Amino acid sequence: MPLYEYVCQDCGVRFEVLRPMRDADADIPCKNCLGKNTKRALSVFYASSDGRSVTSSGSCDSCSGGSCSSCGHH
């Protein structure tokens, strides 16, 4: 299943979601503010090569070290 990245136009949070290709352009609520004003960013698929898992959702680029106030990841 491809990994898609979305950007919230309201709060600016980027988040990644694993979802079927047919749902790639379907609306998805922001994980931070639950707003519906989100846009799909470029697909990143499994391009990450720094060793961290990209299969778990709920984390953003800045919270690889632990909790993150920008996306609510703990």
Q: What does the binding site for Zn ion look like in residue numbers (CB under 5 A)? A: 8, 10-11, 13, 30, 32-33, 35
Contact (CB, 8 A) for 39 and 4: no
Give whichever of 26 and 47 is closer to Zn ion, judged by the CB atom. 26
Give whichever of 21 and 34 is closer to Zn ion, judged by the CB atom. 34
Q: Which residues of 16-35 are buried (b: 16+ CB within 10 A; e: fewer)?
A: bbebeeeeeeeebebbbeee
Closest approach, Cβ 49 to Zn ion, in A, equals 28
Give whichever of 33 and 68 is closer to Zn ion, judged by the CB atom. 33
Angstrom distance (rounded) from CA 13 to CA 26: 18
Closest approach, Cβ 23 to Zn ion, in A, equals 19
Closest approach, Cβ 6 to Zn ion, in A, equals 10
